[in-house]
Structure 1
Amino acid sequence: MDELVDILDENGKPTGEFCLKSEAHRKGLFHPTVHVWFYTEQGEILIQQRGKDKATHPLLWDVSVAGHVSSGEKIETAAVREVEEEIGLDITEDDLERIGTFKEIHKISNNFTDAEFHHVFLSELHVPLHDLTKQESEVEALGLIAVRQFAEETLDLVYSAKYVPHGTDYYKSIIQEIKKRL
């Protein structure tokens, strides 16, 4: 879906401008996104396999829920909306624990650059995997993975082709923050 997104400067501050998401990607303009990582008290992380028709990183495993923040939308509101859309889970802003913002640039092609500031949240998953409903157009599959295995796989070059390349520092931060809560 092509939606309006706010344009950010290289430090993540709003410029007061907005455009269609497709234009932001075409021009490599910074814009905000949300990442919500779900974990269980048993020490598992919910991961999603991106849909086969996604423009970026199709079929790679990624954050539990991710999406763009619509122009003028509050970051936490976008996170709650994306969780409901992508995995069918009804949460509130109180269920989200903000852990940081990460700047990331992925040049996909000459006409497509993902220049984003990811607003990252954690949330404990209180329902079984089979109670989640994946958004067919966005999500190929959902899975739970032990934190230890996830750490080994995201920090090991052997598995680098399995996951979206967010970078070692990003994955280390997520793992560290989840471990603090277990």
Structure 2
Amino acid sequence: MDELIDLLDADGNKTGETVLKSIAHRSGIFHQTVHIWFYTKNQYILLQQRGKYKTIFPLLFDVSVAGHIASGEEIEDAAVREIAEEIGLNISKKELKKIGVFKSIQNHSPELIDAEFHHAFIAELKVPLQELIKQESEVEDLQLTSLLKFSEETWGMANLRKYVPHSVHYYKTVIKSIKKEL
């Protein structure tokens, strides 16, 4: 879905301008996204397998929930909205713990450049996996993976064809932040 988003400068500051998401991606203009990683108290992490019809990284495993922040939308409101849309879970903003903002530039093609600042959060998953309702257009599958296995596969990027290629620093921050909560 194309939506109006706020533009950012290379340092992550809002410029006061807005543009359609499709134009930002086509032109490589910085904008904001939310990433929410869910974990369980028994040391599992919720992974989302991207939909098979996604333009970028189809069928690779990624963050539990992710999405763009609409123009004028508060960051935490976008996170709560995306969680409800993608996995059918309603949570409050107070359940989110922000772990950082990560600058990411990925040149997928001359017509698709993701220049984003990911506002990353963690949250405890308090319902069984089977209660989640995946958004069919976005999500192929949801699965719980042990935090240990996830760490091994992402820190050394030993399984490059399984996960979306975020930086090792990003993955380490997510894992270390979750471990602090356990």
TM-score exceeds 0.5: yes
Partner residue in 1 for 2:25: 25
The residue that corresponds to 2:34 in the other structure is 34
> 1:133-162: per-residue Cα shift (whole Å, max 9, x none)?
000000000000111000001123330111
Aligned counterpart, 1:148: 148
Q: Is the 8 A contact 2:156 2:168 kept in 1?
A: no
The one-letter amino acid of 1:84's match is A
Q: Distance in 2 between matches of 1:14 and 1:161?
A: 34
| Equivalences, count | 182
Distance 2:115 2:6 in 1: 12
Which residue matches 2:163? 163
Shift of 1:12: 0.3
Look up the equivalent residue of 1:142 and give its one-letter code: L
Structure 2: unaligned runs, 5 residues or longer: none
Write the mapping of 1:94-113 to structure 2, written as runs, cut at 5 A. 94-113=94-113
TM-score by length of 1: 0.99
2:171 and 2:51 mapped to 1: Cα distance? 21
Cα distance in 2, alignment partners of residues 154 and 22 from structure 1: 29
- Alpha-carbon contact 2:12-2:117 (below 8 Å) kept: yes
Partner of 1:158: helix, strand, or coil? coil
Contact 2:37 2:65 in 1 (8 A): yes
> What SS class does the counterpart of residue 35 from structure 1 fall into?
strand
Identity between Structure 1 and Structure 2 (%): 59
Residue 57 of structure 2: aligned partner: 57
* Cα distance in structure 2, aligned partners of 1:157 and 1:16: 37
Distance 1:160 1:176 in 2: 21
One-letter code aligned to 1:19: V
Aligned-partner Cα distance in 1 for 2:53–2:45: 24
Per the normalisation by structure 2, the TM-score is 0.99
**Contact 2:46–2:142 (Cα < 8 Å) also in 1:** yes
* 2:68 is the counterpart of 1:76: no
Offset at residue 104 of structure 1 (A):
0.2
CA distance in 2, matches of 1:2, 1:53: 16
Aligned to 2:91: 91
Superposition deviation, residue 9 in structure 1: 0.3
SS in 2 for 1:24: helix
Q: Partners of 2:157 and 2:12 in 1: how far apart?
A: 30
Unaligned runs of 5+ in 1: none
Rounded Cα–Cα distance in structure 1 between residues aligned with 2:4 and 2:60: 26
Between 108-117 and 150-159, the greater mean CA deviation after superposition:
150-159
Q: What is aligned with 1:175? A: 175
